[in-house]
């Protein structure tokens, strides 16, 4: 079974740890790296070439929305998921325009994030 490489990008280490625990329960998902903000995400994405990037909406230095177009350029075939507390129609529209494939609320259960990642590769 092929494993999809996942880059977690969130400025909160507790959120990253929880997301890591949820995703690593899946046999076909593997965390290849973590980043604190969009700038670090760009550097790590170029180095690690992940299949999936889980991006927080609000981060210091560069937000998930700001990083998304750069990540899309660097990783044209990757799945970009915005993982946010701020789920509304405007955010979803801005995410799509930025090249993000899915928006998942942090208020949802962890399986919503897993489902979004796996749906991209189905």
Tell me how far apart the alpha carbons of residues 64 and 44 are, in angstroms, rounded to a whole number.
14
The whole-model pTM stands at: 0.94
User: Which tens digit of pLDDT belongs to each residue from 18-46?
Assistant: 999 999 999 999 999 999 999 999 999 99
* Coil, strand or helix at 93: helix
- The pairs formed by 26-32 with CB atoms below 8 angstroms and a separation of 24 or more are 26/114, 26/118, 27/1, 27/3, 28/1, 28/2, 28/3, 28/4, 28/118, 29/3, 29/4, 29/114, 29/117, 29/118, 30/3, 30/4, 30/5, 30/6, 31/6, 31/7, 32/5, 32/6, 32/7
Domains delineated in the chain: 4-121 (3.40.50.2300)
User: Which tens digit of pLDDT belongs to each residue from 51-94?
Assistant: 999 999 999 999 999 999 999 999 999 999 999 887 688 989 99
61 backbone φψ class: left, alpha, beta (φ>0; ψ -120 to 50)? left
């Amino acid at each position: 079974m092929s494993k999809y490489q996942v880059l977690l990008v969130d400025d909160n280490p507790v959120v990253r740890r929880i997301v890591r625990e949820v995703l690593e329960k899946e046999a076909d998902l593997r965390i290849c790296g973590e980043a604190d903000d969009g700038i670090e995400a760009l550097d790590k994405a170029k180095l690690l070439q992940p299949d999936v990037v889980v991006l927080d909406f609000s981060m210091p230095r560069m937000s998930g929305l700001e990083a998304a177009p750069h990540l899309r350029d660097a990783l044209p075939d990757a799945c970009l998921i915005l993982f946010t507390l701020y789920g509304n129609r405007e955010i979803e529209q801005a995410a799509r325009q930025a090249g993000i494939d899915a928006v998942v609320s942090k208020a949802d259960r962890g399986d919503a994030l897993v489902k979004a990642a796996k749906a991209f590769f189905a």
